[in-house]
Amino acid sequence: MDKQWLSQLPISNITNLVSVGGGDVNNAYRLEAGDDTYFLLTQPHQPATFYAGEIAGLKDFEKDNILAPRVLGNGQIDGDAYLLLNYLEQGQGSQADLGELVAKLHQVHSSNGQFGYDLDYISNDESFDNSWTNSWSNLFVNHRLDKLRQMLLDKHLWNQHDDDKYQRVRVVILKALANHQSEPSLLHGDLWGGNYMFLADGQPALIDPAAFYGDREFDLGITTVFGGFDNDFYAAYNAAYPLDPGANQRLNFYRLYYLMVHTNKFGTMYKSSAEVAMDRILGNKV
C-alpha cells in the first residue's frame, strides 16, 4: 500500500498503517491519522460497489441500534475497491450479552413483511438472489440451496449419489418449512465465531454482515457449525426471544447450507461434513 494510493483516501495526515486480519476475502489494515484510528478494507480489481451489500447491512444495523462498525467512506482507488470504517478496539465480554444483541437484531422485521433484501448477495465465490418474496422456503431453498447444489455439481464436488441424497433432503426441508411460521427478521447472514467481537468496554458488536431478511433460525444454525458460541449465548437469546418448537431439527437445514457454502469455496475438505448434515436431516444414524 503506497503513499500515493493512501493520499486518495478521504482522510489526511496518515501516520501509520498496519496489516491486520480481515478474513479470507479482503485485505485489511489498521490506519492511524492524527488522533483517529480507522479500519480499512480493500479488494483489488473490484469496483466500489463490491462493498455495497456490507455497507447496506452496517447502515441497517446502525439505524436499529445494533452495535457494529460505522461506514466512513467507500470508493475505488487505482482500480481497487475500498471501505473505510471506524476502528473498534477489542476487549472481552459476556456471551449472554452477545445472545441478547443477536435477539435484538432478530426482532427487527422487514417493513414490507417479506423475505429478501434490496441488494443481492455477491462475493468472489458465489452470489444469491435476494429478490423480495412472501415465502421463506422460496428464498432459502430455491435461491440458496438449489443454487449451491448446482455449483457443487458444476465443479464436480458432488456426484449423482450426492445429488440424489440432496433431492431427498430438499423434500424434508420443504415439508418442515411449510409447517413452520417464519418471520422476516433482519439477519447478520454470516454469523460464525469470527464475525462478532467484544469491545474494550465489554460490549458485543457484530462485524462483516451479509444482511438480509429471513428466518432467524438461519443465523442460529450457522452459529453451531464452527463453535465460538456457548450455552450462555443460547440461553440468553432464548430468554430474550424464545425459539419455536422444532427449532433444533430446522437448525440442521442451515448447518447444511453453510457447509455447502464452504464446500463450494474450499473444496472436498468440507464435503463429508455436508454429507453428515444431510444424513441428520434424513434421520439417518451418524
Residues designated as active site: 190
What are residue 221's DSSP bridge partners?
none
What are residue 31's DSSP bridge partners?
17, 38
- Is 135 in contact with 250 (CB distance < 8 Å)? no
Distance CA 49, CA 35 (A): 29
DSSP per-residue string spanning 135-178: -HHIIIIIIIIHHHHHHHHHTTSS-HHHHHHHHHHHHHHHHHHH
Q: What letters, b where the CB count within 10 A reaches 16 and e where it falls short, cover 122-135?
A: eeeeeebebebbee
Burial degree of 176 (CB within 10 A; 0-12, 13-18, 19+): middle
